[in-house]
Amino acid sequence: MKSFPEPTTKNEVRSFLGITVYYQKFVHNFYLVALLLTDLLPKRNTSHFMLFQKPRIAFKALKTVITTAPVLSSADFVKEFVPQTDALNTGIRAVLTQCNGEEHPITNKSKKLLPVKQCYLTLEFEALELK
């Protein structure tokens, strides 16, 4: 992963994101890190890939968080689980934690929202997060 070449086409960006999406449960706010890359994918987007600084930074950041040791803890089924959710207009995230003096994340889930879902009410966002 560390030597993955910088993508230059939509197919290469899709390929890189396809590889990294498996690891999203280990990466806090995965969709926020990947957002600049996923924004390059729509057909209406005619910008040149990776010519701008922000997509390059996003690509390097995503490679870094995926190749760095995760800070997740193993689940202890005797202790209480605490779900936490958060929503922005662009995406949602949920974290399952356990407390043992301090909170430890067990798993993460984050997702970029399609434009049609970006106008949902807060209650609908929360339902999506728990899905």
Which residue, 40, 46, 31, 45, is CA-closest to 6? 40
Strand order in the sheet with 103-112: 81-87, 91-99, 103-112
Residue 46's pLDDT is what?
54
Q: What angle do CA 22, 108, 73 make, to 5 degrees?
A: 100
- For tokens 């003096």, name the residue: 101
| Whole-structure pTM value | 0.59
Q: Per-residue pLDDT for the chain (131 aa), expressed as one digit of tens each? A: 788 888 887 888 888 888 887 777 777 677 777 877 887 777 665 555 555 677 788 888 888 887 776 667 788 898 888 888 877 777 777 888 888 777 778 888 777 777 777 777 767 776 766 66
DSSP-derived 3-state class of residue 74: coil
